[in-house]
């Protein structure tokens, strides 16, 4: 018996129509200039689709650092993709051969790869790491509101939501989670800013207006009645139903249900976007990435569990992007994948990988800049079971860039949403909101430390463009060890010292960051 056949009301909403001071917030437009003046909301027709990969995706078998291949082979021969099978994005960087769809998007400039996204002092618990990604906090901060929820509730745009919604200004849900339980990323300061639509196959029953019969008993009889009322009293039901009725999926690339639940979810999202919903955020999920064992088939490492997951991901995104184009909605939509963590560099003897830290993150859409941000992770020649990919980019840099350059959130607002400043990355090419956000010309160079290996002192040389910058040291688990340079460095060559007093032998990373520029190198401490 199917019990989740209708959309799920998650926030109580009053029936009274509501106007914001009698005028439409559209009047504020999207000019960054205006926003700096009034900081009064970010009325936009842009849409962000978040794809959560539950379980922790093995980034190293998704995006492969070809220039590190021999060291990778030492660390994970039982699962590593054969070098000749890797699909090359560039000479140095490749993608899992099953993801040809994403390779095509990359080639057409609609796919941006951000390397080694993570955060300092990573947590290796699914729950805690997921909470960190959804709430966008430092790893030692426990926050109840989510980053999207803060964005939606921190604007002056939707005061008092959900009281007074839907209304003429916002007739649709602010955010939609495909699924039953609303993501905690949508939790605002007081109430959830999103609603959930039950899982895809059931959703079609919802939009067709039918309800499965409950048990043929008196209790079932009353249950049916309550379910019908629950469905009808969802104040957004009408607008969602109308939007879904207005548009039909056009892409022939969609995988058939039930093989690809992600594709099914994105099909609904495409329909709702094309059908005219003003909803700004959609969240979809695909699970199963927690591949501790047998993630690839021995001898045919480009097949198996992980390959199947990546295949679904690639097919679903390609079809979705194709659909948006055919539906004429491509200009409005950007997508982003994320997972609570990557996986360990070294594989298990059982052919899987344990919980790791930083991992690649994807953005896609007509207006993403395309290409690769960051450099390949550095794989040491000998890797222990605890070694991890260090982060190059903080995930909150990605969030912040999306909010700023896709939704036009002001810098001031951004700091409230993300609690501190993060570097803005060149993720979007042209958005109608911000000017082209190219990495500005620069003279930054981060040199290899000397001596290396070292014990306990070493020197790090770098060139500055004449800017504020930081250089931080991380260990192999991603723990932030020390900041060795911070502040304004005039144009020219500089040198800082690093004293590894009290630290154990091993590989350490040093990372220079200034604005959008990030560079990282490895060094070895031998005691």
Residues lying near other proteins in the complex (CB under 8 A): 1, 3-4, 8-13, 15, 52, 54-55, 125-128, 130-131, 142, 144, 179-181, 184, 190-191, 215-230, 232-233, 235, 285, 287-288, 290
145 three-state secondary structure? coil
Shorter beta-carbon distance to other proteins: residue 289 or 422? 289
Shorter beta-carbon distance to other proteins: residue 288 or 466? 288
Shorter beta-carbon distance to other proteins: residue 180 or 386? 180
State in angstroms the smallest separation of the CB of 316 from other proteins. 17
Q: Where are the beta strands (DSSP E) in 246-384?
A: 281-286, 333-339, 359-365, 371-373
Q: What gap in Å lies between CA 450 and CA 99, rounded to an integer?
A: 40
363 contacts: CB under 8 Å, gap ≥ 6: 111, 112, 114, 334, 335, 336, 398, 402, 427
401 three-state secondary structure? helix
H-run or E-run covering 134: helix 126-135
Query: Helix, strand, coil shares of the chain as percentages rounded to 5?
Result: 30, 25, 50
Shorter beta-carbon distance to other proteins: residue 173 or 400? 173
Angle at 474 between CA 469 and CA 480, to 5 degrees: 80
Check if the beta carbon of residue 146 is closer than 8 Å to that of residue 136. Answer: yes
Check if the beta carbon of residue 261 is closer than 8 Å to that of residue 311. Answer: no
Shorter beta-carbon distance to other proteins: residue 55 or 275? 55
Angle between helices 305-326 and 261-274 (to 10 degrees): 20
Shorter beta-carbon distance to other proteins: residue 128 or 415? 128
Shorter beta-carbon distance to other proteins: residue 309 or 372? 309
Shorter beta-carbon distance to other proteins: residue 4 or 46? 4
Shorter beta-carbon distance to other proteins: residue 130 or 518? 130
Shorter beta-carbon distance to other proteins: residue 276 or 288? 288
Q: What is the DSSP string of 172-240?
A: S-SEEEESSS--GGGB-SSSBSEEEE--HHHHHHHHTT------SSHHHHHHHHHHHHHHHT-TTHHHH
* Joined tokens for residue 133: 């990604």
State in angstroms the smallest separation of the CB of 184 from other proteins. 7
State in angstroms the smallest separation of the CB of 81 from other proteins. 24
Check if the beta carbon of residue 334 is closer than 8 Å to that of residue 46. Answer: yes
State in angstroms the smallest separation of the CB of 340 from other proteins. 9
371 exposed, middle or buried (CB, 10 Å; 0-12, 13-18, 19+)?
middle
Shorter beta-carbon distance to other proteins: residue 228 or 497? 228
Cβ neighbours, 10 Å, residue 140:
9
Q: What is the DSSP string of 24-40?
A: -GGGG-S-HHHHHHH--
Shorter beta-carbon distance to other proteins: residue 172 or 322? 172
* Joined tokens for residue 180: 């039953």
Q: How many CA atoms lie within 13 Å of 490's alpha carbon, on the beta-carbon side?
A: 0
State in angstroms the smallest separation of the CB of 209 from other proteins. 12
State in angstroms the smallest separation of the CB of 133 from other proteins. 11
State in angstroms the smallest separation of the CB of 397 from other proteins. 24
List Cα–Cα distances, 310 to 59, 86, 303, 306, 307, in angstroms: 11, 14, 10, 6, 5
Q: What gap in Å lies between CA 352 and CA 395, rounded to an integer?
A: 25
State in angstroms the smallest separation of the CB of 58 from other proteins. 15
326 contacts: CB under 8 Å, gap ≥ 6: 250, 251
Shorter beta-carbon distance to other proteins: residue 222 or 486? 222
State in angstroms the smallest separation of the CB of 356 from other proteins. 15
H-run or E-run covering 487: strand 480-489
Q: What is the DSSP string of 44-65?
A: ---EEEEEEETT---GGGTEEE
């Amino acid at each position: 018996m199917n019990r989740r056949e209708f959309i799920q009301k998650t926030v109580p909403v009053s029936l009274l129509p509501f106007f914001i001071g009698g005028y439409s917030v559209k009047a504020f437009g999207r000019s960054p200039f205006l926003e700096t003046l009034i900081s009064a909301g970010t009325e936009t027709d842009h849409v962000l689709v978040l794809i959560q990969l539950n379980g922790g995706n093995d980034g190293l078998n998704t995006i492969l650092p070809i220039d590190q291949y021999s060291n990778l082979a030492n660390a994970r021969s039982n699962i590593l993709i054969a070098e000749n099978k890797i699909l090359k994005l560039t000479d140095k960087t490749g993608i899992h051969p099953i993801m040809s769809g994403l390779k095509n998007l990359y080639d057409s400039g609609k796919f941006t790869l951000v390397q080694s996204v993570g955060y300092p002092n990573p947590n290796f618990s699914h729950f805690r790491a997921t909470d960190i990604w959804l709430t966008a906090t430092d790893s030692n901060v426990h926050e109840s509101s989510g980053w999207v929820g803060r964005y939606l509730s921190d604007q002056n745009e939707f005061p008092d939501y959900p009281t007074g919604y839907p209304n003429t200004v916002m007739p649709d849900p602010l955010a939609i989670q495909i699924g039953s339980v609303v993501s905690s990323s949508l939790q605002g300061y007081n109430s959830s800013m999103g609603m959930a639509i039950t899982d895809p196959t059931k959703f079609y029953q919802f939009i067709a207006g039918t309800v499965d019969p409950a048990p043929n008993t008196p209790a079932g009889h009353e249950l049916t009645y309550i379910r019908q009322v629950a469905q009808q009293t969802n104040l957004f039901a009408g607008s969602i139903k109308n939007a879904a009725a207005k548009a039909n999926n056009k892409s022939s690339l969609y995988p058939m249900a039930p093989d690809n639940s992600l594709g099914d979810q994105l099909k609904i999202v495409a329909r709702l976007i094309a059908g005219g919903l003003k909803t700004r955020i959609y969240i979809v999920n695909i699970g199963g990435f927690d591949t501790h064992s047998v993630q690839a088939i021995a001898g045919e490492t480009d097949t198996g569990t992980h390959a199947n997951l990546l295949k679904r991901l690639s097919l679903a995104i390609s079809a979705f992007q194709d659909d948006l184009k055919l539906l004429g909605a491509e200009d409005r939509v950007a997508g982003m994948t994320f997972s609570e963590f990557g996986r360990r560099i070294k594989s298990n003897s059982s052919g899987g990988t344990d919980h790791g830290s930083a991992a690649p993150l994807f953005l896609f859409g007509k207006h993403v800049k395309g290409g690769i941000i960051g450099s390949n992770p550095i794989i040491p020649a000998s890797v222990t079971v605890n070694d991890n990919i260090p982060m190059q980019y903080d995930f909150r840099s990605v969030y912040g860039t999306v909010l700023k350059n896709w939704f036009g959130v002001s810098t001031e607002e951004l700091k409230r949403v993300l609690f501190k400043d993060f570097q803005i990355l060149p993720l979007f090419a042209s958005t109608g909101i911000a000017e082209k956000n190219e990495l500005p010309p620069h003279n930054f160079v981060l040199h290899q430390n000397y001596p290396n290996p070292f014990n306990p002192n070493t020197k790090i040389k770098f060139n500055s463009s004449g800017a504020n910058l930081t250089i931080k040291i991380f260990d192999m688990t991603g723990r932030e060890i020390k900041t060795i340079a911070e502040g304004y460095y005039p144009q020219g060559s500089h040198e800082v010292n690093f004293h590894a007093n009290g630290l154990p032998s091993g590989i350490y990373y040093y990372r220079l960051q200034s604005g959008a520029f990030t560079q990282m190198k490895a060094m070895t401490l031998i005691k």
